[in-house]
Amino acid sequence: MNPTACLLVIGNEILSGRTQDVNVQYIARRLSETGITLSEVRIIPDIRAVIVRTVTEARAAYDNVFTTGGIGPTHDDITSACVAESFGVPWVHHAETFRLLEAHFAPGEFNAARQRMATMPQGAVPIRNSVSVAPGFSMGNVHVMAGVPRIMRAMFEEVLPTLPHGTPVTSRAWHATGLYEGALAAPLEAIQNHYPTIDIGSYPYRLDETQRGVCLLCKGTDAQAVSAAATAVRDMIARLGFEPYEGEPAKS
Amino acid sequence: MNPTACLLVIGNEILSGRTQDVNVQYIARRLSETGITLSEVRIIPDIRAVIVRTVTEARAAYDNVFTTGGIGPTHDDITSACVAESFGVPWVHHAETFRLLEAHFAPGEFNAARQRMATMPQGAVPIRNSVSVAPGFSMGNVHVMAGVPRIMRAMFEEVLPTLPHGTPVTSRAWHATGLYEGALAAPLEAIQNHYPTIDIGSYPYRLDETQRGVCLLCKGTDAQAVSAAATAVRDMIARLGFEPYEGEPAKS
């Protein structure tokens, strides 16, 4: 069994619809490639009690917890203090990070707000990165990252290689234009039952106003079984009288 | 207090990173405009026990629960049966929907898989819509919708006007290029403390490789207080020696 992960997206700007999240897909793909199962994503607001409760639940339930958002210098950046509260440890200046940030700013500019970015749960390990001077941090199995996508990615790529991981997920897809889900459901279920360790997904698409089709995706950690299941899917498409195409269709 | 809502995005394709979700932002915006508070989004896999448990938790915790995904005819479409299990009611053919679908398909084509789309928790009310013949449904405070964005939207717009709603959220934003969060955190927090009912968010942006800035967003259900807080934010930007621009910047 691969290790599990939960992602907590912390930020009112996602829940209000102001911002289109793009971090979920990036993290989801990279975890999948690395052999860590993303079991759940929770998008929660900048409310102290909610963040503390959710972090506490998630770190008990999953091998890894990632958070994005809420680690800047302003009053709405409360993730770091909430993680300290979840672990029941003080929220304190991290000496090395403090010095690093102090050296970065011009004299007089390293104010109280910026010093917050050097404040972490006691015992946290900074996640330094090439994009931002202010680091994220890991506290136990909780990995706290920025919400800004390019900073998040830099932090994530630092921490990912340090985590225990399992077998990467491989996938193969076949698609068929003109074929409808309702016509293939029964034979597809038979294939799924024959390959219980493989996750077979059925995703309808439309090419244009009139042309529809379906993409059938086999994935799992056993590459040989993925391949065998995909072959069975291809043969099923042909048996139903449609032309199987490998890969994913260009979708509208 | 506005009514609350939770959105459950059900689908392995989001958690594997195959698909970029676009439903969250649409639903988040529309709820905000309508005066329903989106309190949480949970993205969960196509696993029966997980769906049942999450639906049960969410419908007890929030006024409204929306789900997207998992209501098609294939074996991985298990949302509807899971909602029945969560409510402890049988999963049965809905007579009117059954007739409607039967009439839609050519003789012999309304097979067992397609009949699943006419199967709902006992007592559910179908959400008919202009895009798909197969409806979503409402069961108590749980509103079950398709995952395909254009079908989801059609279902959502049918059900939204039928729900109790509160005061729409209004917002006003000011931004300033060249201004950094670290330089405004203290005066911004003072404004936040002065307007406790207004949610003031600080969102850094970059215009290009060198130019940075910050967008300060005030929102809430009290339009007059939103306006007053936004004026205070504008004056603060000017006091710090930067030029305040209304609205949101073009971001890179």
ipTM here:
0.94
pLDDT of residue B209: 82
Q: Is A16–B169 a contact, with Cβ atoms under 8 angstroms apart?
A: yes
**Interface contact flag, A13 B203, Cβ < 8 Å:** yes
Closest CA to A2 of B16, B21, B232: B16
- In degrees and rounded to multiples of 5, residue B64 shows phi and psi of -135, 145
Q: pLDDT band at A134, cuts 50/70/90?
A: very high
In this prediction, residue B17 carries a pLDDT of 94
**Residues of B in Cβ contact (< 8 Å) with A172:** none
Interface with chain A: mutation pick from B4, B39, B43, highest number of A CBs within 10 Å: B43
The per-residue pLDDT for A49 is 98
Burial of B239 (0-12, 13-18, 19+ CB in 10 A): exposed
Nearest to A43 among B30, B40, B204 (CB): B40
| pLDDT for the residue numbered B248 | 82
Single-letter residue type at A45: P
A28-42 per-position pLDDT tens digit: 999 999 999 999 999
pLDDT tens digits for range A2-36 = 999 999 999 999 999 999 999 999 999 999 999 99
The answer to whether the CB atoms of A219 and B16 lie below 8 A apart is: yes
CATH architecture of A4-162: 3-Layer(aba) Sandwich (3.40)
| Per-window interface: A 19-58 vs B, CB < 8 A | 19-22, 24-32, 38-46, 50
CA distance A170 to A177: 24
* Neighbour tally for B98: CB within 10 Å: 17
pLDDT in tens, B142-184: 999 999 999 999 999 999 999 999 999 999 999 999 999 999 9
**Do the Cβ atoms of A15 and B27 come within 8 Å?**
no
- pLDDT of B252 > 70? The answer is no
What does the pLDDT read at residue A194? 97
CA distances to B16, B107, B148 from B132, rounded to whole Å, are: 26, 19, 10
The chain-wide mean pLDDT, for chain B, equals 95
CA distance, residue B50 to nearest chain A CA (Å)? 10
Contact at 8 Å (CB) between B119 and B94? yes
CB A9 within 8 A of CB A41: yes
CB A133 within 8 A of CB A126: no
* Residue B225 main-chain phi, psi, to 5 deg: -70, -35
Summarised one tens digit per residue, pLDDT across range B19-37 is 999 999 999 999 999 999 9
85-104 in A: which are within 8 Å (CB) of B?
A: none
pLDDT digits (tens, 9 = 90+) for A60-106: 999 999 999 999 999 999 999 999 999 999 999 999 999 999 999 99
Domain ranges of chain A: 4-162, 170-246
Give the Cα separation of A101 and A109 in Å (integer): 10
Q: Stretch A135-153: mean pLDDT, rounded? A: 97
Closest residue of A to B10, CA-based? Answer: A40
Q: Please tell me the predicted confidence (pLDDT) of residue B247.
A: 87
CA–CA distance, B25 with B32 (Å, rounded to integer): 10
Q: pLDDT-based confidence at B79, cuts 50/70/90?
A: very high
CB contact under 8 A, A186 and B112: yes
| B4 touches A at CB < 8 Å | no
* Residue A46 CB neighbours (<10 A): 21
Nearest to B75 among A112, A148, A189 (CB): A189
Q: What is the DSSP letter of A197?
A: T
Cβ pair B55, B70 in contact under 8 A: no
Does residue A252 carry a pLDDT above 80?
no
pLDDT attached to residue A208:
84
**Alpha-carbon radius of gyration of chain A:** 22
Q: Are B158 and B81 in contact (CB under 8 A)?
A: no
CB contact under 8 A, A182 and B15: no
Q: B112 CB near a chain A CB, below 8 Å?
A: yes
The two structure tokens encoding residue B224:
């007059």
Interchain contact A16–B (C-beta under 8 A): yes
Q: Which two tokens stand for residue A191?
A: 């294939």
Q: What is the 3 state secondary structure string of B103-154?
A: HHCCCCCCCHHHHHCCEEECCCEEECCCCCCCCEEEECCEEEECCCHHHHHH
Residues B71, B117 contacting (CB under 8 angstroms): yes
Query: Which distant-in-sequence residues (6+ apart) come within 8 Å of A108 by Cβ?
Result: none
Pick from B43, B72, B203: which is nearest to A41 by CB?
Answer: B43
Size of interface A-B (CB pairs under 8 A): 188
| pLDDT score at A251 | 60
Q: Is B238 at the interface with chain A, CB within 8 A?
A: no
CA distance A139 to chain B (A): 23
B185 close to A75: Cβ distance less than 8 angstroms: yes
A186 vs B: CB within 8 A? yes
- Chain A, residues 123-162, CB within 8 A of chain B, namely 148
User: Closest to B13 (Cβ–Cβ): which among A43, A116, A203?
Assistant: A203
User: Which residues make Cβ contacts (< 8 Å) with residue B230, sequence separation at least 6?
Assistant: B172, B173, B174, B218
Considering only residues A208 and A190, tell me which one the structure prediction assigns the higher pLDDT: A190
Q: Is the pLDDT of residue B122 over 60?
A: yes
Mean pLDDT confidence for A160-176: 95
pLDDT score, position B251: 59
Q: Which of B26, B42, B200 sits opposite A40 (nearest CB)?
A: B42
- Per DSSP, the residues of A66-121 read EEES--SSSTT--HHHHHHHHHT--EEE-HHHHHHHHHHSPTT---HHHHHTTEEE
Nearest to A172 by CA among A220, A116, A128, A117: A220
Please, which residues 189-218 of chain B have a Cβ atom closer than 8 Å to chain A? 189, 192, 199-204, 217
pLDDT value at residue B58 = 98
- State the Cα–Cα distance between residues B140 and B6, nearest whole angstrom: 14
Instruction: Please name the fold of domain A170-246.
Output: Alpha-Beta Plaits (3.30.70)
- How many helices (H) and strands (E) chain B has is answered by 9, 12
Nearest to A73 among B39, B105, B182 (CB): B182
CB A226 within 8 A of CB A220: yes
Give yes or no for a contact between B248 and B174, defined as CB atoms under 8 angstroms apart.
no
Residue A1 has pLDDT above 60, yes or no: yes
- Cβ separation of B40 and A41 shorter than 8 Å? no
User: Chain A contact for B13, CB < 8 A?
Assistant: yes
